[in-house]
Amino acid sequence: MTLMADSRTRFLDPDAWRGMIYIDGGWTAGSGPALQVFDKSTGEQIAEVGTGTPDDVARATASAKKAQAAWASMPAAQRRAIFLRAEALLTEHHDELTEWLIRESGGIRPKVAFELAKSHENLLHAAAVTTRSTGQILPSEPGVLSLARRVPRGVVGVITPWNFPFVLALRMLGPALATGNSVVLKPNPHTPVTGGILLARLFEEAGLPPGVLQVIPGGGDVGQAIVTDPGTGMISFTGSTQVGRAIAQAAAPLLKKCVLELGGNNPYIVLEDADLDAAVSAAAFASFMHQGQVCMTAGKHLVHHSVAAAYADKLAAKAQALRVGNPAEEEVHLGPIVNKTQIDRVQRIVDDSVAAGAVALTGGHHNGPFFAPTVLTHVTEDMPAFDQEIFGPVAPVIAFESDEEAIALANAGEYGLTAAVRSGSESRAAAIAERLRAGVVHVNDQNIAYETWAPIGGMGASGGGDALGGPADADAFTEWQWMTRRAEQTVHHF
């Protein structure tokens, strides 16, 4: 039975939004071609959404700009209440949202449970942001009130990825809206329902005023239009480095603020005094969670040469014990890869690395959309498995001789998103961690970690130093304004 036939409430009823986009607080037919949505495991069509065009973007941006001032001036308690109602709706529709996320994103049930739990946190965090101080009083001369305050950027263009479509959209939407901006959202074409349509429904039911959120599924032309429209004051994007570079280039002539969280090829360093079993257990999660389709995934396992062989054997045994299959029908550890293009890319990286001398201890192949968890040994710096972001369930193991070599290997390449170091000596691991070029670094843990209130971003080609979350949200979604107020008008003479 499809999700279309199994709809139980208006909230998730595809008949209410089939072929539609969300503009100015209402559902309207998209001007672009219909977009079919497929179950990532079976290929079955589960929905159809509308798509927009650049003309739709212009209309949506104008509507968002018109609605933004009233939204920003709405009393904080009223704006907070909308986020709290949205959070309550997540609880009410939890089971249905779970099924959509499993089938549209290909996530296993624990991954989806994590995504929804963090979505609750994001909405509660946004509710709290509405009542935070927005500035400070500065010293000045007598009779002058001098203020430094944060003001909204206006209309924020949000472009989201497909791997964690719901929570990563909320991670941008929440603070953008909470700080008084309006938003034009373009979900990824692979997940237009859970990354866009359901968010429109969530805030519609929660009482967000019309025009404050616009949702326009579509392709690259829609994204380009959002980036270049003069009405958008900033762009928040999570996705590939390649697309991030194109966004930055298109936004540059308009001097438009961009916050970009991009790809990563993240080092996981294991020293010879680490607890090997604990390190392997964490490593399996870090490389195979959501089929390795996570920007924070452990992309290269840097292991001290004295324990590298034992580490690889233990990791291969762990990989062989993992079940791969359709998460909508059975309890599995890994679900499907997002599409055939990505399957072919992962296979090419593995095959080319093996041809160059790497050894696949386990895996290295796929069955339809399901790629077996793979452990590669004898990987060297000149192989694609070392320096490319794989975005698949592949764990390349690279041996190192010294702490200095580990640091050099970890910092090799253009990426700088996450890193992790494991050792029996916390101080030794911390000394290494302090020299790693990454926006997120964990000592005696693994790479994939997410806290709603922590600033998460990347250095270099992983984002250029921008971050979202907690203290970084104000920097991202507001800008400084200096204001002075005098009780009496002044006269200035030359």
Coil, strand or helix: which one is 133? Answer: coil
Say if residues 229 and 260 touch (Cβ distance below 8 Å): no
| Sheet of 374-377, strands arranged across | 359-362, 374-377, 394-400, 298-304, 266-270, 418-422, 440-443
Say if residues 261 and 458 touch (Cβ distance below 8 Å): yes
Instruction: Provide the sign of the torsion angle of the four alpha carbons 148, 153, 159, 165, taken in this order.
Output: positive
Provide the Cα torsion 152, 153, 156, 160; round to 10°. Answer: -90
CB burial of residue 303 (10 Å; 0-12, 13-18, 19+): buried
DSSP string, 215-281: E----HHHHHHHHH-TT--EEEEES-HHHHHHHHHHHGGGT-EEEEE----EEEEE-TTS-HHHHHH
Residue 399: CA count within 13 A, CB half-sphere: 12
Candidates 470, 26, 58; CA nearest to 208 is 26
- Over the range 227-257, which residues count as b (16 or more CB within 10 Å of their CB) and which as e? bbbebbbbbbbbbebebbebbbebbeeeebb
CA dist., res. 290 & res. 374, Å (int): 14
Beta bridge partners of 482: 148
Coil, strand or helix: which one is 118? Answer: helix
- What is the distance, to the nearest Å, from the Cα of residue 357 to the centroid of all Cα atoms in its chain? 34
Coil, strand or helix: which one is 294? Answer: coil
Residue 490: CA count within 13 A, CB half-sphere: 7
- Over the range 187-224, which residues count as b (16 or more CB within 10 Å of their CB) and which as e? bbbbbbbbbbbbbbbbbbbbebbebbbbbbbbeeebbb
Coil, strand or helix: which one is 135? Answer: strand
CA dist., res. 175 & res. 123, Å (int): 9
| Sheet of 135-138, strands arranged across | 135-138, 144-152, 478-486
DSSP-derived secondary structure letter, 373: P
Active site residues: 261, 295
Residue 171: CA count within 13 A, CB half-sphere: 31
Candidates 382, 342, 377, 385; CA nearest to 361 is 377
Number of continuous H segments (helices) and E segments (strands) in the chain: 15, 23
